[in-house]
Amino acid sequence: MATYVLLHGSYQGAWIWKPVSALLSAAGHLVYRPTLDGCAERKGGLRPEITLASHGNEIANLLFYEDMQDVILVGTSSGGMVVCQAAEHVPERIRRLIFIDALVPMPGETVATINGRAPYSRAELVYGPLPENARGQIFADLEPAVQEWALARYTRHPLAPTEDPVDLTGFWGRTWQVDVLRCTRSPAPPETHQRRTAEKLGGAYAELDAGHYPMLSHPAEVAGYLLERA
């Protein structure tokens, strides 16, 4: 039995991993899918103190308080950054890191520079379109019924964890067992960034013909990929 911890990305919560989690659990594995502070059902806790460091700390604490060992820590999109921050704190509890269409910045980088966009405004604590404007911008590549389900759960994302330049020097100073899965229909994070992640961390690189939310569009394929690494 393997232990998976599945970390969501921006505009999401634990809910996005629900189909994949069910498949992993049915195969006999232990699965955690936490919602990060300030996101989804925890959006009421939004405050300036939420940072990449605080997100990483809460996942590191989860691994400690649940006595987890040999963890397969999985992150998608901006959740890849949280994987890095959490792993830096509890490397002794990590078996493998898996990045699915994920951001893995080098020290000093920001998401804006990686994705080639302008920095978001600091006027608010969150970024992303207002919920009433999210249709057609977020989850647009999902089939209609799944898209409606996802849009009903959409929340704007805490700003600082992705807009602040990262440290992560401790993460990059260690050796990890790493797998990178890029979604070929997703323009961001760029292919060059994801190939760099695999190359610099000495990890395996693979591609999936999917958009940025493969855990909803291709749950069986994502679960199969994770099970192969158990």
Distance CA 39, CA 126 (A): 10
- Total-model pTM: 0.98
Distance CA 23, CA 167 (A): 35
Residue 221: pLDDT band (50, 70, 90) is very high
CB 166 within 8 A of CB 52: yes
Q: Is 43 helix (H, G, I), strand (E, B) or coil?
A: helix
Residue 102 has what pLDDT? 98
Tens digit of each residue's pLDDT (9 = 90 or more) over 187-203: 999 999 999 999 999 99
**Dihedral over alpha carbons 43, 49, 76, 179 (to 10 degrees):** -150
Tens digit of each residue's pLDDT (9 = 90 or more) over 93-146: 999 999 999 999 999 999 999 999 999 999 999 999 999 999 999 999 999 999
Whose CA is closest to 78, among 52, 103, 51?
103
Residue 191 has what pLDDT? 98
Residue 188 has what pLDDT? 97
* Domain assignment of residue 75, given as a range: 3-227
Tens digit of each residue's pLDDT (9 = 90 or more) over 48-106: 999 999 999 999 999 999 999 999 999 999 999 999 999 999 999 999 999 999 999 99
Q: What is the CATH number for 22?
A: 3.40.50.1820
The number of folded domains in the chain is 1
Residue 196 has what pLDDT? 98
Residue 74 DSSP label: E
